[in-house]
Amino acid sequence: MGASMEKSMLIVDLQQQILQWQGFKQIEKKDYGIGLGELEKAFPGHVFPVGTLHEFMMESNEEEAASSGFIGGLLSFLMQKDGVGLWISSSSQLFAPSIKSFGVDPDRIIFVKMEKQKDILWALEEGLKCEGIRVVIAEVQDIDFAQSRRLQLAVEKSKVTGFVLRLKSRFRGTTTCAARWHIRPLPSYVQGDMPGVGSPEWEVELLKVKNGNPSRWQVGWRQDQFEAKRLVLSSKPIYPAKRKVG
């Protein structure tokens, strides 16, 4: 009995070490609970990885809006107190007042509009190196492995979290991002038989999680909080053609 306990302790210890080498930081759960509940179990150590890169795949404008809303919810936890966020894009369509309903002060986000993809990537890297900000969000269509590795190196030195928004991306290869998300709108949540549009609901799919378990969840935003519920993997795949196996 004692031997098996010792063994499992050893394995846990080794797993921790591997995670550290892979760029994950030891984070106390009580400090950085993101409020995603059940969804956080998909990540290594059951903690939402802060201080790393996340990428969001988006296929249409509707999905882009849904992702923005979901990110708004994440920001409300990441940008607590006086934190500042940076939103770099080439089109800048986010309507600032809307994210107030997700608990973020829009005036604490600085919007940067740059024309070239190269400049946006550069700005993202510079932003990730900067200690003065909490979150950098960048709209980049395509990012390859080498580029994402540069970003990963920048992020390892600071505590900044990076979100890469990839609208209609053509390249779906591997990147160094800690998680790859795909968010689709679901019919809104309405209590009882009330008329009208209710609070937003999304189908959140984690396509890839480094050292975690990819799966699908139904996430809603109700009363300034996330509510996540695991979806049973149905037989109907969402993106049969584009999604790679493995």
In 3D space, the residue among 45, 101, 40 whose CA is nearest the CA of residue 68 turns out to be 101
Quick one: 87 exposed, middle or buried, by C-beta within 10 A (0-12, 13-18, 19+)?
Answer: buried
- CA distances 179 to 49, 93, 124, 176, Å, are 9, 24, 17, 9
Which residues, 6+ apart, have CB-to-CB distance to 146 below 8 Å?
none
Q: Which one of 111, 141, 208, 231 is in contact with other proteins (CB under 8 A)?
A: 111
Number of Cβ within 10 Å of residue 5's Cβ equals: 9
Alpha-carbon distance 94 to 157, whole Å?
29
Smallest distance from other proteins to CB 4, Å: 44
Should residue 121 be labelled a site residue for other proteins when binding is judged by CB under 8 A?
no
Should residue 106 be labelled a site residue for other proteins when binding is judged by CB under 8 A?
yes
Q: Which one of 30, 116, 170, 244 is in contact with other proteins (CB under 8 A)?
A: 116
Between 24 and 70, CB nearer to other proteins: 70
Should residue 110 be labelled a site residue for other proteins when binding is judged by CB under 8 A?
yes
Segment 188 to 227, residues that bind other proteins, using CB under 8 A: 188, 190, 195-198, 200-202, 221
Smallest distance from other proteins to CB 73, Å: 9
Smallest distance from other proteins to CB 84, Å: 6
In 3D space, the residue among 46, 47, 99, 73 whose CA is nearest the CA of residue 225 turns out to be 73
Query: For binding to other proteins (CB under 8 A), which residues are involved?
Result: 61-62, 64-66, 68-70, 72, 81-84, 86, 92-102, 105-116, 119, 122-123, 126-127, 130-134, 184-188, 190, 195-198, 200-202, 221
